[in-house]
Homo-oligomer: A and B are copies of this chain.
Amino acid sequence: MRAFLIVGNKAFTRPFNLNDIPGAGRMDIMCRCVSQALFVSHGIRKDVEVYLFLLGQPDPPKCVLIRGSEVKRLAPDERNIAGHINKALSFDVDENWKEVHSGVYIARKKLEDLLKDLCKEYEVYYMREDGEELSKVTFERPLFVIGDHIGVIKEVEEKILNFAKKIVKVSEISLMAEQCIVIAHYELDKRAKDLKTLKNKDIRLF
């Protein structure tokens, strides 16, 4: 299993206009992260979960979870993914995960509570530009925490660091969040012992 948690510093916590996805607190970044985390050519990675941690107005924090093993009728384009997020944001939330569509969940979670839960299942790695080179780190069930265009503010970062096993970086160049995800998959795929098994078992073709 692999997971990604993306911090959307301004990403809206109410439904938004699908004709202006960037205007919803740069929800376009969230959409591209979902797309690049879950999709391969004509298939979805069943072994991946994506957590969007939304901190924008008017009702933060909310977390949207999309599971590759369960999600249906998801396409890789931004508007399709935004439609799913939008629908999730139209529901009332509490601290329990509510399934709003096959494989799409929403809850109100404090970051520390969310990470505490996720720590039971994953090793937490925080992506920051001064970290260890990802290509040289050994991973077992990693959860990568990544900031959006703003990065991660100090107060949020402190919470992440309480749970993080390591800080890792993907490149000397500052890349966009979705590019970090593509490269993390690439590096992890390379070292998968049996890529045929990975292809057959962990990717759902459509």
Contact = CB atoms under 8 A, between A and B. Distances in A.
Interface stretch (A95-103, A114-122, A165-173): A165-173
B199 A173 contact: yes
A202 to B, nearest CB: 10
Interface in A12-40: 18-19, 21-22, 28, 32, 35-36, 39-40
A137 interface: no
Nearest to A148: B41
B203 A186 contact: no
Interface stretch (A3-11, A56-64, A70-78, A104-112): A70-78
Contact of A28 (B41, B43, B77, B173): B77
A198 interface: yes
A103 to B, nearest CB: 20
How big is chain A's contact interface, by range? 35 or more
A128 interface: no
Contact of A36 (B80, B170, B179, B186): B179
A160 interface: no
Given A28-B77, A172-B189, A173-B198, 8 more contacts: A21-B79, A22-B77, A36-B179, A40-B173, A43-B174, A171-B186, A179-B186, A183-B186
Interface of A: 18-19, 21-22, 28, 32, 35-36, 39-43, 75-80, 149, 170-176, 178-179, 182-183, 185-186, 189-190, 195, 198-199, 203
